[in-house]
Copies of this chain bind each other. A is one copy, B any other.
Amino acid sequence: MSRRPMVRPGGRSARVQRSVHEAVRDLTAESGRDALTVPLIAARAGVTPSTIYRRWGDLQELLSDVAVERLRPEAPPEDRGSLADDLTSWAELFLDEMASPAGRAYIRDALLGDPDGSNAGQCSAYAAEQIDAVLSRAADRGEKTPEVEMVIDRVVSPIMYRILFRPTGLDAAYARRLTAEVLDDGR
């Protein structure tokens, strides 16, 4: 990601990025990701391989960028009217998405082709933004809320740790328990 130049939306750079990301997703869907090579992706995207090497460095860094893009939340967290409901349903959805086969593959890709850690940091920033939205909404309602960093430590961290290092017991009940505990302690 460090190699990526500033992107003007709608400019050539943005078009190249879009078509290359799209080529990665299409080729992965068609032939599986072990079949991906830079020349194959370049041909599908209608760019030269050197465009890809210049911009992303290598295949792993490109896959890391694509993964982060896929891990970007599509919508703000649902508003169910209370902090407990909002945070619980967000945590259940987060666990569900991250622990799915696709989610695990994206997390792995995001971490692997990321020499400077900026893509992993972006994944964490997405989670923090979603949590912040839930907490701010609750604060506006007058509810007492824990800090964002406390929710990262107590809900996001154990889910991600178990996905990467200890992949058992990852179900909705686990997400609900972590959420209930942080709300008990943090208010």
Question: Which residues of A line the B interface, CB within 8 A?
Answer: 108, 111-112, 117, 120-121, 123-124, 152-154, 156-158, 160-162, 164-167, 178, 181, 185
Give the residues in chain B near A121, CB-CB below 8 Å: 165-167
Given A108-B111, A111-B108, A112-B112, does the pair A117, B167 have CB atoms closer than 8 Å? yes
- 18 other A-B residue contacts (CB within 8 Å) besides A111-B164, A120-B166: A108-B111, A111-B112, A117-B167, A121-B166, A121-B167, A123-B165, A124-B161, A124-B166, A152-B161, A153-B158, A153-B161, A153-B178, A157-B160, A157-B162, A158-B158, A160-B161, A164-B164, A181-B185
Give the residues in chain B near A154, CB-CB below 8 Å: 153-154, 158
